Chain A
């Protein structure tokens, strides 16, 4: 009960920031969506050759899963930014607001297009002829007759779009845009169900409120009641002003942006880095829940300024290396490569390794006599393997598959924290675990050895964006974190987060205090 009350208090403390961004993002997307869709609909309403393709395109966009649509805009904008940088000498942030805005704007278009076209087509032909007959130009007919008559239907479309956009905006968290979705994604990772519920309720309440206010406007148009229109306008304005207030208040100074991937360890380390930077007097911002490829590109592009990656990930994903020259050589070559190709600074290792490690239930492993990946190969076709969302498309997996000739009967993908439970419950037999995860010990799992050395080392490393690569003050603030956290300390911290009893920020503070004592 107490833990829940604490979680609600923690959730409330984020509300001004999350809500402000959520409202700003949704509002911008709806305004932009109306600005694009309305002229397009008016143009194509009486041109069948345009109408069908416009509606079909908007319909197709609607069928793309919203998360995928959001994710697709990051690489597109990144490429565009690189192009404008090279051609015109300016770039822009390809992460965060822009991709979210672009995707949500596209998403808002279908209902506005469809309703505007339907509204305009639904006007009595006699009225249209009369408009021409009394001597209206096509533009006058549109302004004085067609749009006013179609207004209720058009407004209903805007209303539908607004509800969709507000709901879908929660998915902009993984592309680095703060929204009410931060509650949901963080809560899902840390199994903080109070957070997940809080995010859902907040987004739903916002959508419902906007829906009611727009319904009032629609009613005002139908009943020609300026009082209703005014009440709706004032209500919407108050809502926007109140929610955007925190952004207007705190717009001073460009903050140092701390990035984090989408699992507990990253949230804890992100919070830890942010604490250190704040203590050193930096203004900070967080971009949590980023995908592991997205986050590296974001650092190179300066969309984020600092985050913790793992040497093996950079080695395989970004350097495209498949050879394994040893732990120390990997770190050295990685540092040189980062500096040379991206201008990224390598501030040093954190001290622990979070490697891909294949794990089984201890009892199963003993029963089958499996100790290493080599032992596993013979049983694999009869076994089920569970992995996170990335592993089966990663080079490490191909290397292991190839080195040991692994062919599993079934492959399943899980959210990282559900994966451990799945293997403990016997739903799958083997999982692609992470060596720093506290649940390996908690569930009594056995890590299979890698006698052929197919898996690269995964030292946690602190990376700094090109813009801050020579920022001595920032480097000094982060220096104490280098070599400061050993595997045991990280496993303990991760286990605390996994159980969902404490927020990553609390755990980060405890970890920081521990570092300070040493």
Chain B
């Protein structure tokens, strides 16, 4: 269980602000943090594994304050997937995937075995991909390796910062549904950040909507549809429907020819 209590980050040099944020993510839950860019959702995510420390308030994981643990130790036990992937260009797929295990001092044989398992989990053939460098991968393959790198050390918590944002739409859907399956199969607790409402509704157990550094509403997609808290929420949840409608109209026009 992840608990954010009065979490506040005031304006820093390069991070969006967050104010008095209270949120509980249950163990095994898939929570999507969604909101327009600059609303503070990435700031919130990175305060969980202490890439950024809050100005006020605290994060508790399974009841323990994260400030009590060494940030390096903390990060090795929480998987993190980055928006721009951030694979190490001078390391092979296998080396990238196994890096967290290597940092923990796990033996070579065990690392190799675990790397193969994890690559198979993200549907990359170990035999084909192990020895490749990131430059020789497609965008989708790179983010699969990014997910594998986060999973290799068997974390129970996964933090994902717009992981599929920069990937072309066909592959994005495949990748996100693959990840949702992994989340269920491994019983992970996932917090995923996105600005794409459709993605949020398709993946999330619960959606947390943010605006201007504050949490506006948290609930299951059904709850949000049924009782939007204000016009902002209504507009946000309407956007996928409006797009679907517009798409339908466009296709009918095309079909009439």
**Contact across chains for B90 and A148 when beta carbons are under 8 A apart:** yes
The distance in angstroms between the C-alpha atoms of A137 and B70, with both chains bound, is 11
**Contact across chains for A135 and B89 when beta carbons are under 8 A apart:** no
**Contact across chains for A134 and B90 when beta carbons are under 8 A apart:** no
Given the complex, which residues of B lie within 8 Å of A149, measured CB to CB? 88-90
**Contact across chains for B76 and A134 when beta carbons are under 8 A apart:** yes
A-B contact list, 12 entries, CB within 8 Å: A124-B89, A126-B82, A126-B85, A130-B85, A130-B86, A130-B87, A133-B49, A133-B80, A134-B76, A135-B72, A135-B74, A224-B90
Chain A residue with the shortest CB-CB distance to B103? A135
**Contact across chains for A133 and B90 when beta carbons are under 8 A apart:** no
The distance in angstroms between the C-alpha atoms of A144 and B88, with both chains bound, is 9
**Cβ contacts B63-93/A at 8 Å (1 or 0 each):** 0000000001111110010111111111000
Nearest first, the 6 closest Cβ-Cβ pairs linking A and B are A130-B86, A135-B76, A135-B75, A126-B84, A126-B86, A133-B80
Interface: A129 (CB within 8 A): yes
**Cβ contacts A244-286/B at 8 Å (1 or 0 each):** 0000000000000000000000000000000000000000000
The distance in angstroms between the C-alpha atoms of A136 and B80, with both chains bound, is 13
The distance in angstroms between the C-alpha atoms of A224 and B92, with both chains bound, is 11
Interface: A145 (CB within 8 A): yes
Interface: A131 (CB within 8 A): yes
Chain A residue with the shortest CB-CB distance to B80? A133
Contact of B51 among A132, A145, A148 (CB under 8 A): A132
**Contact across chains for B103 and A145 when beta carbons are under 8 A apart:** no
**Contact across chains for B88 and A140 when beta carbons are under 8 A apart:** no
**Contact across chains for A134 and B99 when beta carbons are under 8 A apart:** yes
Q: How far is the CB of A76 from chain B (nearest CB, A)?
A: 43
Contact of B82 among A133, A135, A140 (CB under 8 A): A133
**Cβ contacts B148-189/A at 8 Å (1 or 0 each):** 011000000000000000000000000000000000000000
The distance in angstroms between the C-alpha atoms of A214 and B114, with both chains bound, is 39
Looking at B72, B74, B100, the one whose CB has the most chain A CB atoms below 10 A away is: B72
Given the complex, which residues of B lie within 8 Å of A148, measured CB to CB? 90
Report if A135-B73 is in contact (Cβ < 8 Å); known contacts: A126-B86, A129-B86, A148-B90.
yes
Looking at A126, A127, A136, the one whose CB has the most chain B CB atoms below 10 A away is: A127
Contact of B86 among A133, A135, A137, A140 (CB under 8 A): A133
**Contact across chains for B82 and A129 when beta carbons are under 8 A apart:** yes
Given the complex, which residues of B lie within 8 Å of A145, measured CB to CB? 88, 90
**Contact across chains for A130 and B72 when beta carbons are under 8 A apart:** no
Given the complex, which residues of B lie within 8 Å of A134, measured CB to CB? 75-76, 80, 99-100, 103, 149-150
Q: How far is the CB of B49 from chain A (nearest CB, A)?
A: 7
The distance in angstroms between the C-alpha atoms of A501 and B74, with both chains bound, is 80
**Contact across chains for A131 and B88 when beta carbons are under 8 A apart:** yes
Given the complex, which residues of B lie within 8 Å of A133, measured CB to CB? 49, 51, 75, 80, 82, 86
**Cβ contacts B99-112/A at 8 Å (1 or 0 each):** 11001000000000
**Cβ contacts A97-135/B at 8 Å (1 or 0 each):** 000000000000000000000000000101101111111
Q: How far is the CB of A163 from chain B (nearest CB, A)?
A: 27
Chain A residue with the shortest CB-CB distance to B84? A126
Report if A127-B89 is in contact (Cβ < 8 Å); known contacts: A134-B100, A135-B100.
yes
Looking at A132, A137, A145, the one whose CB has the most chain B CB atoms below 10 A away is: A132
Looking at B80, B88, B150, the one whose CB has the most chain A CB atoms below 10 A away is: B88
Q: How far is the CB of B143 from chain A (nearest CB, A)?
A: 12
Q: How far is the CB of A47 from chain B (nearest CB, A)?
A: 15
The distance in angstroms between the C-alpha atoms of A419 and B88, with both chains bound, is 65
Given the complex, which residues of A lie within 8 Å of B72, measured CB to CB? 135-137
The distance in angstroms between the C-alpha atoms of A501 and B76, with both chains bound, is 77
Chain A residue with the shortest CB-CB distance to B159? A133
Contact of A132 among B75, B83, B84, B150 (CB under 8 A): B75
Known contacts A133-B82, A134-B103, A135-B72; 11 further A-B pairs (Cβ under 8 A): A126-B85, A127-B86, A130-B85, A130-B87, A131-B88, A134-B100, A135-B76, A140-B103, A149-B88, A149-B89, A224-B90
Tell me the chain A residues, 129-162 only, with Cβ under 8 Å from chain B: 129-137, 140, 144-145, 148-149
Given the complex, which residues of A lie within 8 Å of B100, measured CB to CB? 134-135
The distance in angstroms between the C-alpha atoms of A131 and B86, with both chains bound, is 8
Q: How far is the CB of B108 from chain A (nearest CB, A)?
A: 16
Tell me the chain B residues, 198-252 only, with Cβ under 8 Å from chain A: none
Given the complex, which residues of A lie within 8 Å of B75, measured CB to CB? 132-135
Contact of A130 among B49, B73, B82 (CB under 8 A): B82
Given the complex, which residues of B lie within 8 Å of A124, measured CB to CB? 86, 89
Chain A residue with the shortest CB-CB distance to B150? A134
The distance in angstroms between the C-alpha atoms of A133 and B82, with both chains bound, is 9
Given the complex, which residues of A lie within 8 Å of B49, measured CB to CB? 133
